[in-house]
């Protein structure tokens, strides 16, 4: 189904754009995003994947595969350590799909699902980094310094981008 709509170009381009924006926004606005000890990690690429789950309808985009690809690039290019996001992103997509089946998705319930998604990403990436000794921060520090600001930033991004992305998907589908 994906093949016949304009989304076959639109979806990968959007994914690529949001992937790069994650790193570029951090470099362009370091004072706002990384004022020590707080660190807001931008996960716009996950927002694009999650919103695709919400808006794909009957299109059936192979989102888990795309999530693994995006996660792989995220690992290699941004962190330099293989094996964390390449698994975390598909898990989040699967989780969002499960939630989508469990209850009707609208703007508010979608916000809650995205809240859960970001929490899962932050926690799993924290444990991943802890295991390979890339961090020595305590769990409490992680909650206050990383999870809370990251949630605030990403939920704000969701609120701002939900309707524009919905409009874009509707436009590209027809």
Partner 1 sequence: MNKFFSNRRLVIVIVCLIVSFGLMSVSVAIRNKRSTPPLVQQFGNDVVGLVNRVVAWPVSGLKGSVTGFSDLMNTYQENQRLKGQVQELAQTKVHDQAVNQENQKLKKELKLNHSLTDYSPVTANVIARTPSAWQNQVIIDKGEAAGVKKNMPVLSGSGIVGRVSEVNRTNSKVELLSNSSESANRFAVTITTKSGKTVNGILSGYNHDKNLIEMGNVTSKTKIQKGDKVATSGLGGVMPAGLFVGKVASTGTDNYGLASKISIKPATNISELSVVTVAVRQAQTTN
60: left (phi over 0), alpha (psi -120 to 50) or beta: left
DSSP conformational letter for 3: G
Using DSSP's 3-state secondary structure scheme, residue 2 falls into helix
Rounded Cα gap, residues 81 and 74, in angstroms: 9
| Options 21, 59, 95, 172; binder of partner 1; rule CB under 8 A | 21
Applying CB under 8 A, does 30 fall inside the site for partner 1?
Answer: yes
Using left for φ > 0, alpha for ψ between -120 and 50, and beta otherwise, residue 105 falls in: beta
Contacts with partner 1 in 97-156 (CB under 8 A)? Answer: 125-126, 128-129, 131-137, 142, 145-146, 150
Which residue among 20, 109, 120, 166 contacts partner 1 (CB under 8 A)?
20
- 57 vs 169: CA distance, rounded Å: 10
The verdict on 73 binding partner 1 (CB under 8 A) reads yes
For residue 151, the minimal CB distance to partner 1 (Å) is 12
39 sits near partner 1 (criterion: CB under 8 A): yes
Short-list 75, 67, 65, 63, CA closest to 23: 75
* Least Å from the CB of residue 146 to partner 1: 4
Q: Among 27, 58, 60, 174, indicate the residue that binds partner 1 (CB under 8 A).
A: 27
Instruction: Name the residues that contact partner 1, by CB under 8 A.
Output: 16-17, 20-31, 33-37, 39, 41-43, 73, 76-84, 86-87, 125-126, 128-129, 131-137, 142, 145-146, 150
């Amino acid at each position: 189904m994906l093949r016949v709509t304009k989304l076959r170009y639109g979806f990968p381009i959007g994914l690529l754009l949001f992937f790069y924006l994650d790193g570029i926004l951090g470099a362009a606005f370091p004072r706002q995003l990384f004022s020590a000890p707080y660190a807001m990690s931008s996960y716009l690429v996950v927002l694009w994947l999650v919103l695709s789950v919400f808006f794909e309808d009957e299109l059936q985009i192979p989102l888990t595969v795309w999530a693994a690809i995006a996660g792989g690039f995220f690992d290699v290019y941004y962190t330099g350590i293989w094996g964390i996001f390449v698994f975390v992103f598909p898990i989040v997509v699967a989780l969002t799909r499960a939630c989508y089946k469990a209850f009707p998705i609208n703007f508010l319930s979608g916000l809650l699902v995205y809240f859960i998604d970001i929490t899962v990403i932050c926690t799993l990436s924290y444990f991943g980094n802890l295991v390979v000794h890339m961090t020595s921060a305590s769990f409490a520090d992680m909650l206050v310094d990383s999870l809370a600001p990251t949630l605030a930033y990403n939920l704000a991004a969701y609120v701002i981008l939900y309707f524009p992305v919905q409009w874009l998907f509707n436009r590209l589908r027809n």
